[in-house]
Structure 1
């Protein structure tokens, strides 16, 4: 893929957000995937961030976002708090919390392509799908209906 000069300014980030204290399937349940998608779409509509790529695994969210009106350090924690708050309103018995969150700045085209490839094939490597295009909650199939441009 060819990228324009300054394609990674504003910064692009690869975020991994695992959830603890839940059953096996959280983010592949439609009602919870819808919460995450609605929050991401709202934040994009308000130009806070732009979603470049995403993957919802049963107990973690993987996304690549481009900073918008907010830097990562101002956007990320409120985003995670809002998602958990909405899930708790739907299912107060779910004792969920975020754990072991990681982030990496995507500095160039090679790093972007590497993470996009990893996100595409992660469901296959984890035995959740036999083909990346057969996995519902990723940018390829976009069953979560996240606004990707």
Structure 2
């Protein structure tokens, strides 16, 4: 078999796989609704009547959000845990995703997030120290 024939067969297989994937998007309901994707695509100046393409964008967006959330969780877990005062709080080991965790994760994808100086990164920010639960 020569190189040209192999290349043609590989292209045909790729085309078949792409066609099958696009067809499968018709049966898939992404987490992000089609209307929302269409809205933001239209807002950016893109119009497309093909539902498969809308769903492809939704799936790509869903993957991006999941990757960012996963990376932010890793940053959250890597952060030193606060000192716990009582045993009840010690049992409750909920992780709190902060804007800093999210910013670090997004920065890895080339998205720089800046928040204003008055941004409250903690539910107790700005509260009277006597009423804080921390």
Quick check: TM above 0.5?
no
Give the TM-score category using the shorter length: under 0.3
Q: TM-score, normalised by structure 2?
A: 0.28
Q: Larger % of helix: which?
A: 2
Q: Larger % of strand: which?
A: 1
